Amino acid sequence: MNPVRTRVAPSPTGDPHVGTAYIALFNRCFAHSHKGQLVLRIEDTDKARSSVESEKKIMDSLSWLGLSWDEGPDIGGEYGPYRQSERADIYTQHINTLLDNRSAFRCFCTPQRLQELRAEQVKQKTTPGYDGHCLRLSDEDVAEKRQNKELHVIRMKVPSEGDCLFEDGLRGEISIPWVQIDQQVLMKSDGLPTYHFANVVDDHLMKISHVIRGEEWINSTPKHLLLYKYFDWQPPQFFHMPLLRNPDKSKLSKRKNPTSIFYYRDMGYLPEAVVNYLGMMGWTMPGGEEKFSIGEMTDQFDIQRVSLGGPVFDLEKLDWLNGKYIRENLDDDELIEQFVKWAMGNDRVKQLVPLIKQRIEKFTDLESLAGFMFSGLLDISADRFVHKSLDDSQCRKILQFSLWRMESIAAWNRDKVELQLQELAVAMDMKIRDFLFPLFIAVTGKAVSMSVIDAMAILGLDLVRTRLRYAITTLGGISKKQLKQLEREYQQM
């Protein structure tokens, strides 16, 4: 039998998401319970959205959780490189195979034509997708266009009738009509592969035996299986895990729940508890235990025990479990050690000291000046936001707009926070003092404190986001309709 090899294949395009850790955990348990390997592959073919910082954050956050991998960009392995941006030649070579056997074709359609096509399909209420226009080009036409250096992409051919049938290891047989499957672009005009193409080529070359991934990829699986067929390769087995959900059952999103792994680190959860909690998402131990380690989960792992009902990521349950770990797994000395590690983490204290040194006379002043740095949600109420020239709705607007601005910062640092807020105050035509007032209350809990910009810079986006959102809720919240209006206003600014 072939060795079991699984992979986790995040795209480094933002904060390290709990969904990535969840998928990594199940892949790791599956591989290790079969004495196999887990591969970490970085899918960074989207040049504009991928970043080195994000890749580092993903690796740091998985390491923090103890979700180590057996092969990956940092530790290498037999099947590297493990970063797709370093595999361009491999993709070029493989696309040529598909062009040669005529299962892929060059498409010279302009973005404008594609846009018009789409608009027409929307109007006619037909399935949107490419209409096969360039399939009709003769070899001579193609040669001429290439000679003239016309920009083009490479698409895969897709049958126009029948169904794609495949077996999902958790869901049984799935059938998707081919008419619903687009003639997917495999190579973009810049010569870089799309996710679908690079993912299949790499899964094959890295000898991945089982693909365990989120259910959002089910509809892409026909394209992937077709590519295996075109290459005449044996496909891996597919398992589509249920998506994590917010308590209201919608897909887990940072609007409703903190989704960055670092949020949980910075809030002072223990990594063992977070991993244990992720293990409870759709999975139960055969003996029904709720508290278990990765090792115990691996020992008992049977993927058929995964249940498909959308698992709810519930912070109260996580709090309960984390409390249990604190009490049951750490003696007092270990707790002190962990606590100090957390408090000093992220260089928080180091960054804080020069800022408060000028203002304190004795250590006990620290609490009133910077206690908020070590808290989760602050104890604030709507009356704290009373201000001589701002009403509640203006405060909510400032908080919401600031939140959007903060989320647009790619690499978080003090200067960027300051610049974004200053620009926003100007765009909103407000005095900076008034503008900063609701931010002071939301982030520090007080109208007067150390600089709120410094505070935000040190706290980081995850905690800032949670506090701004909490402040908006405290002020009565923003309805869906109001949010739409604010979005419009924000975009016009």
Provide the pairing of β-strand 5-8 with 37-40.
parallel
Q: Residue 213 interacts with ligand GLU (CB under 6 A)? A: yes
Q: Which stretch binds ligand GLU (CB under 6 A): 4-12, 75-83, 166-174, 290-298?
A: 4-12
Contact 38, 32 (CB under 8 A): yes
CA-to-CA separations, 14 to 170, 214, 253, 407, 421, in angstroms, rounded: 29, 18, 13, 10, 21
Smallest gap from residue 11 Cβ to ligand GLU (A): 4
Smallest gap from residue 294 Cβ to ligand GLU (A): 20
Q: Which stretch binds ligand GLU (CB under 6 A): 5-13, 233-241, 263-271, 471-479?
A: 5-13
Q: Residue 184 interacts with ligand GLU (CB under 6 A)? A: no
d(C-alpha 427, C-alpha 172), whole Å: 55
Q: Residue 61 interacts with ligand GLU (CB under 6 A)? A: no
Q: Residue 10 interacts with ligand GLU (CB under 6 A)? A: yes
Closer by beta carbon to ligand GLU, 79 or else 217: 217
Kindly state the DSSP code that residue 125 receives in the 8-state scheme: T
Kindly state the DSSP code that residue 131 receives in the 8-state scheme: -
Burial 43-62 (b: 16+ CB within 10 A, else e): bbbbeeebbeebbebbbebb
Q: Residue 236 interacts with ligand GLU (CB under 6 A)? A: no
- In this structure, what are the phi and psi dihedrals at residue 417, rounded to the nearest 5 degrees? -60, -45
String marking each residue 34-53 x if it binds ligand GLU according to CB under 6 A: ---------x----------
Contact 27, 294 (CB under 8 A): no
Q: Residue 9 interacts with ligand GLU (CB under 6 A)? A: yes
The residues that are catalytic are 254
Q: Residue 15 interacts with ligand GLU (CB under 6 A)? A: no
- By CB under 6 A, how many residues form the interface with ligand GLU? 8
Closer by beta carbon to ligand GLU, 10 or else 258: 10
Whose structure tokens read 């969904």? 19
Q: Residue 199 interacts with ligand GLU (CB under 6 A)? A: yes
Closer by beta carbon to ligand GLU, 61 or else 199: 199
Helices (H), 428-492: 432-444, 452-474, 480-492
Contact 439, 417 (CB under 8 A): no
- The helix/strand/coil state of 241 is strand
Closer by beta carbon to ligand GLU, 11 or else 259: 11
Of these, 88, 133, 179, 217, which contacts ligand GLU (CB under 6 A)?
Answer: 217
Contact 326, 270 (CB under 8 A): yes
Q: Residue 241 interacts with ligand GLU (CB under 6 A)? A: no
Which parts of this chain interact with ligand GLU (CB under 6 A)? Answer: 9-11, 43, 195, 199, 213, 217
